[in-house]
Structure 1
Amino acid sequence: MSAAGSRIAVLRCWFEGNSFCPVPTGLDDFRAREWVAGAEAPAFYRDTATEMGAVEAFARQQPDCRIHWLQCAAAAPGGSIAADDWQQLQLSLLQPLRELLARERIDGVYFSLHGAMVCDGELAPEYTLLAAVRALIGDTLPLAASFDMHANLAPEIAGLADIVVGYKTYPHIDMYDTGWQAISLLQQAIRDGHKPCSAIVPAGVLLPSHAMTTASGPMAELEQLAAELRQLPGVLDATPFGGFAYADTPHCGASASVCVAGDPLQARRLADELAAHIRQRAARFRVRLLDPQQGIAEALAWRAQHGGCVAVLEPADNPMSGGIGDTPALLAALLAAPPACETVFCFIHDPAVVRLACELGAGATLQVQLGGRVSSAYGAPVPFRGTVERLCDGRFVNEGPMERGLACDWGRSVVLRSGRIRVVVTETCRSPNDPAWCRMHGIDLDTVGLWCVKAKNHFRAAFAARLARIIDTDSPGPAALDLTLLPYRHASAARA
């Protein structure tokens, strides 16, 4: 058929789950981040550096291509979704598609997914969702699916989705590009009347993501190899997926996908080749990190010699890896030996402390316990006495390269000061990965010497160029570096 008359249904379910996070994720968490459909969706996503931002832009450039905006949902990374909420989430995603199919014709479906969901009682959520979509639309309509680089993909997904594509950068600054690729390939398949085909091959290794950035190292090499495969005749996409080691499912681990114009044997052969390259590099993803005390000492020594602002990260409690914003190790190390320079700690998630500080008001003095409240497994609470320096409403618009333009409402937060140390305490557990978040809290990196942050690699997208150095540390937490310490029940891939 003609692409000019195509009708495409679009839906989204983006969530990365940490099976070892003690805080469950519910539907309210999706509603707080992304929960839009119909006429609301284009306005919500317009001019955002996201997959759905790409769909909105594509629709404006192709006015004869009608987009049916079905349920688009996303939650910040966190613990497993409860069984009842999972059932409601499925219904919210699938019922609008069922109703659309009952009243009119569509020509294809684009499903934006993460690939590392964890749900109580469901070991392959994305496969289950795609299988339900395929059952509704039948075997003939093309189905495109996009995934995060940290997806844990069941190989059988390739039998459901004709088009499989994934992020190519970490930090994930190519969400828009991935969405554009998915919708464009789907439009092309509709226009040509010939469905592509994909293959997914597990690499058989479980990789920590600390050394998975695509600026350099083993993942950069894999992305270069995939780029070379994409230049071959008939190849529409090739993606190495690093997997997400904290989502304990049977398909947890790295994999490779290849999408081709029509030869399934070519797709499988090239995916096998790319998966082999992942296995060959598995050991290089293993890194050794300093503990919090060593990391702070290294940062201060570096700054004394070179100047500038040095960041010390605590990836074991990174919210973008399912951290809880509550582990005390880095904060305890900082307060045990307060630096002589202006220092900021971001952040502790404690709604009760935020509420108290807001009630007392700016300038008030308070004495509280920080950290160790959600779980005592990672250390005891840390005593803190300071003044309330700043109150924030939590509303800002992302300015950095990752999810640029996306409006955020993260709840209230406060800045507490003790001497030369400021501590940000928040109502919600979100990574401080954007310059607008810093400005909201009055954090000027030109005046800060040491910045301690619960974050990992996404932090680098906005701040690597603004900092003198970034030092990763390891500490107890839901996303700790040593995978052998985690109580896996379902993952079968070898741990790097």
Structure 2
Amino acid sequence: MTARGSSPRIAVVGMAIESSAYAQHRAGYRDFPVLEGPAVLDRYPFLAEGAALRQQAEWIGVFVTKAIPGGQVRAEVYADFRHRIVSGLARAVEDGPLDGVYLDIHGAMSVVGMDDAEGDLVTAVRDVVGPDTLIAAPMDLHGNVSEVLAAAVDLPTCYRMAPHEDAWETRERSARDLLAWIGRDTRPARAWVRVPILLAGEMTSTRVEPARSLYARIPGVTREDGVTDAAIWIGYAWADEPRCHASVVVTGDREDAITAAAETLAAELWRVREQFAFVGPPGSLEEGIEAALAHRAGGGARPYLISDSGDNPGAGGSGDVTWTLRQVLRRPELTGPDAPVTYVASVFDAGAIEELFAAAVGDPVDVTAGARVDDRVSPPARIRGVLHGRYENDPAAGRIAVIRVGGLRVVVTEFRKAFHGVDDFAAIGLPPEEADIIVTKIGYLEPTLYDIAQGWTLALTPGPVDQDLERLGHERIRRPMFPFDEFRTEPSLRATVLRGRDVIGGGA
């Protein structure tokens, strides 16, 4: 591999999306902004020109694309991107052996007709770079780690926070660990434990117990002799594949140390399984609205947040389910002239946008929007009001219209968009601090909304990322699985130890 004294050669590739099997949306080319060549490195602050890590290796940008969560990826789109990754790596190998591959993935990508998309992708990467090249993969803690993935990736790791405020820290840690292992005489071993738990992300936030304490154990584990990294994947509950379950992976060069650590973390995860609860005050949409109105009537500060969690685009929702919007439009206390100012975000509908952009701001409008992609929960919503604002050139949403219906400010977009930050609202003339209530398609609140919320309800609404997992009807996950099934005996939480593609010992 690398000659003594020369810089390691590391290729950077990736394809990432979180995919709900229950969303009607299908992720296509527009969902995936593509970076190739030198532009790939510009995505990573720690690989910028002049950055310390940039100087320690020859980093070769190949192909990286990342979409916001959604439905399954169209098979032809995945096949194209996979080919571009593999062919780009093949060209890099022609210029000399690669010491490492930095594989930026999510862990919960689903592709139409496939069961283990990331497992397929990393297998293709391994086939082209050969058995000696080290592969590192930073991932979301809501990923699903199959044995294929665990066996093919030398240095897997995942976020330690939900919301994922440590996403870039995790990516940089992964790059540092990859550099630290290149040139060593041994390869990292992984102790992998399959844990038969499948929980919604909103029940496993590290803002609250037991996840907060569970993940707080990880830094101590990584300081143990012989341990490089420890990771707990909670798993992704809105897919329906055999790989959907929690996992623990501990990486290092001492098999006894990583095995003990992985089995200890897995046992602790299993021990606290019944303690997981929703991160925010849960309730029905009606209960959320009543709580928001009571908050306002009692003189509470603005704004009160209501999560439309069943169609959260940040977790894989289609983004145009109208169930919540239709309920809100029926509430006279929200649509009257003296109603509290309430932002409702959002549904996408290109046809409705064409109609709305044919009108002038201030004109009365009557438009039907939403449920063009996902109409299983509710039909399109009729919105009659006044065109409050029009906006263009949003990188995700394209064109955006805001319709005023009494106190409501209903957001309609041309394409899918998650309104998950203060800036998303401010950019379309809806300053969050001026709203009494904000209803948005989200689960747990992302940082900027969390910081401004003066009250909050996690509304348990129906949709493709329904928090009530029993309503979804999983058919292909491995059983028994908590919380779906009773366990007559304790599950085996023994670690399977892998080095390269070889199984050293243990059992899942």
Superposition TM-score, scaled by structure 2 size: 0.88
Which of these residues, 441, 465, 469, is aligned with residue 455 of structure 2?
469
Task: Report the Cα distance in structure 2 between the residues aligned to 1:3 and 1:211, rounded to whole angstroms.
Answer: 49
- Residue 440 of structure 2 is matched in structure 1 by 453
CA deviations on 1:167-188 (whole Å, 9 max, x unpaired) are 1111111111111111111111
CA shift at 1:199, angstroms?
2.4
> 2:38 matched to 1:39?
yes
- Residue 49 of structure 1 is matched in structure 2 by none
- Residue 66 of structure 1 is matched in structure 2 by 58
CA shift at 1:472, angstroms?
0.5
Which of these residues, 253, 274, 279, is aligned with residue 283 of structure 1?
274
Q: 1:329 to 1:4 in 2, by over 3 A?
A: same
- Residue 237 of structure 1 is matched in structure 2 by 229
Task: Report the Cα distance in structure 1 between the residues aligned to 2:441 and 2:201, rounded to whole angstroms.
Answer: 15
CA shift at 1:152, angstroms?
0.5
CA shift at 1:310, angstroms?
0.2
Structure 2 gap ranges (5+):
484-508
Please give the secondary structure, in 2, of the residue aligned with 1:393.
Answer: strand
CA shift at 1:266, angstroms?
2.7
CA shift at 1:217, angstroms?
1.6
CA shift at 1:137, angstroms?
2.0
CA shift at 1:62, angstroms?
3.7
> 2:15 matched to 1:16?
no
Which of these residues, 143, 164, 177, is aligned with residue 135 of structure 2?
143
Task: Report the Cα distance in structure 2 between the residues aligned to 1:225 and 1:148, rounded to whole angstroms.
Answer: 18
- Residue 197 of structure 1 is matched in structure 2 by 189
> 2:422 matched to 1:435?
yes
Q: How does 1:71-150 map to 2 (within 5 A)?
A: 71-150=63-142
- Whether contact under 8 Å (1:293, 1:330) holds in the other structure is no
Task: Report the Cα distance in structure 2 between the residues aligned to 1:343 and 1:417, rounded to whole angstroms.
Answer: 10
> 2:205 matched to 1:218?
no
State the percentage of identical aligned residues: 25
Q: 1:121 to 1:282 in 2, by over 3 A?
A: same
- Residue 383 of structure 1 is matched in structure 2 by 382
Structure 1 gap ranges (5+):
46-51, 396-407
CA shift at 1:360, angstroms?
1.6
- Whether contact under 8 Å (2:227, 2:254) holds in the other structure is no
Q: 1:409 to 1:25 in 2, by over 3 A?
A: closer
> 2:329 matched to 1:335?
yes
Q: 1:199 to 1:393 in 2, by over 3 A?
A: farther
Aligned partner of 1:375: which letter?
D
CA deviations on 1:449-495 (whole Å, 9 max, x unpaired) are 011111112x3311111120121011110011111121323211514
Aligned partner of 1:109: which letter?
V
Task: Report the Cα distance in structure 1 between the residues aligned to 2:284 and 2:92, rounded to whole angstroms.
Answer: 54
Task: Report the Cα distance in structure 1 between the residues aligned to 2:200 and 2:367, rounded to whole angstroms.
Answer: 35
Aligned partner of 2:321: which letter?
T
- Whether contact under 8 Å (2:225, 2:257) holds in the other structure is no
> 2:413 matched to 1:426?
yes
Task: Report the Cα distance in structure 2 between the residues aligned to 1:62 and 1:37, rounded to whole angstroms.
Answer: 17
More helix by percentage: 1
- Residue 146 of structure 2 is matched in structure 1 by 154
CA deviations on 1:231-268 (whole Å, 9 max, x unpaired) are 212221111111110121111021111111x1234323
- Whether contact under 8 Å (1:71, 1:93) holds in the other structure is yes
Q: 1:352 to 1:160 in 2, by over 3 A?
A: same
- Residue 506 of structure 2 is matched in structure 1 by none
- Residue 465 of structure 2 is matched in structure 1 by 479
Task: Report the Cα distance in structure 1 between the residues aligned to 2:29 and 2:85, rounded to whole angstroms.
Answer: 12
Q: 1:442 to 1:135 in 2, by over 3 A?
A: same
Task: Report the Cα distance in structure 1 between the residues aligned to 2:185 and 2:422, rounded to whole angstroms.
Answer: 45
Please give the secondary structure, in 1, of the residue aligned with 2:55.
Answer: coil
Please give the secondary structure, in 1, of the residue aligned with 2:358.
Answer: helix
Please give the secondary structure, in 2, of the residue aligned with 1:443.
Answer: coil
- Whether contact under 8 Å (2:396, 2:417) holds in the other structure is no
CA shift at 1:197, angstroms?
2.1
Aligned partner of 1:17: which letter?
S
Please give the secondary structure, in 2, of the residue aligned with 1:144.
Answer: strand
Task: Report the Cα distance in structure 2 between the residues aligned to 1:327 and 1:111, rounded to whole angstroms.
Answer: 33
Aligned partner of 1:334: which letter?
V
Q: 1:126 to 1:375 in 2, by over 3 A?
A: closer
Q: 1:332 to 1:362 in 2, by over 3 A?
A: same
- Residue 496 of structure 2 is matched in structure 1 by none
Mean Cα deviation higher: 2-11 or 240-249 = 2-11
Superposition TM-score, scaled by structure 1 size: 0.90
Please give the secondary structure, in 1, of the residue aligned with 2:291.
Answer: helix
Across the aligned residues of Structure 1 and Structure 2, the Cα RMSD in angstroms comes to: 2.0
Task: Report the Cα distance in structure 2 between the residues aligned to 1:427 and 1:36, rounded to whole angstroms.
Answer: 24
CA shift at 1:57, angstroms?
6.5
- Residue 368 of structure 1 is matched in structure 2 by 367
Task: Report the Cα distance in structure 2 between the residues aligned to 1:2 and 1:354, rounded to whole angstroms.
Answer: 60
Mean Cα deviation higher: 364-373 or 95-104 = 364-373
Q: How does 1:293-304 map to 2 (within 5 A)?
A: 293-304=286-297
